[in-house]
Amino acid sequence: MAIGTQLRRGKLCDYYDVIVIGSGIGGMTAAACLAKAGQKVLVLERHYTAGGFTHSYERKGYEWDVGVHYIGDVHRKGSALRRLFDYISEEKLHWAEMEDNYDRIYIGSESFDYVKGEQQFCDRMIGYFPEEKFAIEEYIKMIREVNRSSSAYFLEHALPPWLATIFYKKLTKRFLFFAEKTTEEVLLTLTKNRKLIAVLTGQWGDYGLPPSQSSFAMHAMVAKHYMGGAAYPVGGSSAIARTIEAVILKHGGQVITCAEVQSILTRGSKAIGVKLSNGAEIRAKNIVSGVGAINTFQNLLPEDLAFKFNYPQKMQHVSPSLAHMDLYIGLKGSSQELDLHTTNLWIYPNEDINKNIQNFDPKPNFDFPAVFISFPSTKDPLWETNHPGKSTIEIIVPTPFHWFQTWQDTKWHKRGPEYNQLKKDMTERLLAILFEKLPQLKDKIQYVELSTPLSTAHFTGHKRGEMYGLDHTPERFKQRWLRTDTQVKNLYLTGQDVVSCGVSGGLCAGFLTAIRVLGLFRSAGLIKLMVRGPRSV
């Protein structure tokens, strides 16, 4: 079921308090917060359904999520993320907790389980590496310290520029101490055991960079995010956008799909509206861009204004995140019949992560450096009711975009025989990996479809098929201009490029952007919600 109203059916007004470009989790969150604050809000989405990476799609009676595979800590009613989700969905979004063993890491033929509970996780790792007890305990302490310091770093992004300048060092110093180091750099101060490092960083696909390139703060936030356990939205990932949209509509806002924004309209150094690809112009007091810094400053903002505020120079210090291929699989038989579980699988050929990536980049026939396997039909308690006797699997692999550049200007579903052959070869290789781990599935597959970075680019507008916005490298965290407000008056950013990536990062960015648009006085309730939690929705 598509989310949002198509442009040809929607009745647009001439003027809004806020126009939000893009309906990813950051845009939808900001829109819900602003609508609940009494703002007249319009969300514009280029795709035929709203939700960004939280939407799902159907084929042949099967349904798959495209970006939500599990979310940490939302199953606990009082957790910070749960409070935020409850606020923007008005407690209509429900969560199903996964098994205690939420991730299984394969390094060659060995497997290592991530289990729910910080102490249980620590004990399990020590059980695998008893000689590394001190390193593992120190690692857990560092994870805690990064996350304690992250709240101040996040809230600094919602302050007015003059106030942020005053308090910047005080609020960000400790967080940036870790953010400006790579994950590998930090872990090598604790241990020289490469296998242990590979195991502890086995979730690096959740933020898109291997330990030699990722910021340790980004790694620490993701690791801590799941240590309390993980959950999945009841009704599938599209329930996220569906419940948030209902709140936006309830409070007088609109969510319009098939409405591609061509440019941001400006007067002097001030944003005043947007121009759609059909030529329509819509005015607003404030513009919130949830489509990423690259799209905002390189594609939507007038070129002269981008140069005036030196955005081309600033963009040289950041880069788009990884692209990926995603194999969607439909199977005959229920999860119980097929012996499928909620535990995600991360599969690595060996512990030499850097070498595996270096070899894979120029050679598609080399071993995949990382393979992630998720079982969405096992995670949703409504699945069997809605899709009896069927199951689904998704397999995701990081993929260099340059493999597909030859077909960049071709049309979706019309890219030619060579492209189709490459997809077929990749599909067969990924299925072989699946059957190696789960041989009982060999004769149960009824449908397979492989998406490439070009599919991501087609539907999201991210030109290089990037999944996580900008790469979360140490250099990225040094960029003070990546915040909620921009140098263009009344133009704001939200989403993964504001503070951190993923659904939780985009969600927090949505709140921070709403706080910045409303101002500190009018957003006191939102600030309190982020810090302590609400008395009611």
Residue 349 pLDDT grade (very low, low, confident, very high; cuts 50, 70, 90): very high
- Tens of pLDDT, residue by residue over 239-290, are 999 999 999 999 999 999 999 999 999 999 999 999 999 999 999 999 999 9
Residue 360 pLDDT grade (very low, low, confident, very high; cuts 50, 70, 90): confident
Q: For the residues 152-168, what does the mean pLDDT come to?
A: 94
Q: Residue holding tokens 């703002």?
A: 39
Tally of CA atoms within 13 A in the half-sphere of 300 that contains its CB: 31
Q: For the residues 95-112, what does the mean pLDDT come to?
A: 98
Alpha carbon distance 24, 288 (integer Å): 12
- Tens of pLDDT, residue by residue over 464-486, are 999 999 999 999 999 999 999 99
- pLDDT the model gives residue 120: 98
Q: For the residues 300-314, what does the mean pLDDT come to?
A: 97
- pLDDT the model gives residue 537: 37
Residue 152 pLDDT exceeds 60 = yes
User: Where would I find the H helices in 326-415?
Assistant: 335-338, 353-360, 376-379, 383-386
β-strand pairing of 371-374 with 254-257? unpaired
Alpha carbon distance 361, 393 (integer Å): 25
At residue 211, the 3 state secondary structure works out as coil
Cα distances (angstroms) measured from residue 109 to each of 105, 199, 356, 436: 10, 13, 16, 11
| CA proximity to 430, closest of 323, 322, 325 | 325
| CA proximity to 266, closest of 299, 297, 305 | 305
Reading the block at residue 168, the tokens are 């910047």
Angle (nearest 5°) at CA 306 between 304 and 312: 120
The H or E element that residue 399 is part of is: strand 390-399
Alpha carbon distance 319, 458 (integer Å): 19
Residue 364 pLDDT grade (very low, low, confident, very high; cuts 50, 70, 90): confident
- Tens of pLDDT, residue by residue over 208-237, are 999 999 999 999 999 999 999 999 999 999
Q: For the residues 110-132, what does the mean pLDDT come to?
A: 98
How many residues are recorded in the chain? 537
Q: Residue type for 362, please?
A: P
- Compute the chain's Rg from CA coordinates: 22
Higher confidence at residue 409 or residue 483?
483
- pLDDT the model gives residue 533: 47
User: pLDDT above 70 covers what percent of the chain?
Assistant: 99
Residue 105 pLDDT exceeds 60 = yes
Cβ-based neighbours of 154, under 8 Å, separated by 6 or more? 499, 508, 512, 530
What the chain holds in terms of domains, given with CATH numbers, is 5-94+235-317+481-531 (3.50.50.60), 99-157+166-228 (no CATH), 323-340+391-460 (no CATH)
Residue 339 pLDDT exceeds 90 = yes
Q: For the residues 86-111, what does the mean pLDDT come to?
A: 98
CA-CA-CA-CA dihedral for 407, 413, 417, 422, to nearest 10: 70
Angle (nearest 5°) at CA 65 between 60 and 71: 155
Reading the block at residue 421, the tokens are 């052959």
Residue 88 pLDDT exceeds 60 = yes
- pLDDT the model gives residue 1: 62
Alpha carbon distance 48, 59 (integer Å): 16
Cβ-based neighbours of 199, under 8 Å, separated by 6 or more? 105, 107, 112, 125, 128, 129
The H or E element that residue 146 is part of is: helix 133-156
**Across the chain, what does the average pLDDT equal?**
95
User: Where would I find the H helices in 350-484?
Assistant: 353-360, 376-379, 383-386, 417-437, 453-460, 474-477
Alpha carbon distance 15, 8 (integer Å): 18
How far is CA 67 from its chain centroid? Answer: 7
Reading the block at residue 291, the tokens are 């489509």
- pLDDT the model gives residue 57: 86
| pTM, entire model | 0.96
- Tens of pLDDT, residue by residue over 112-122, are 999 999 999 99
Task: Find residue 231's DSSP bridge partners.
Answer: 71, 97
- pLDDT the model gives residue 532: 67
Residue 362 pLDDT exceeds 80 = no
Residue 535 pLDDT grade (very low, low, confident, very high; cuts 50, 70, 90): very low
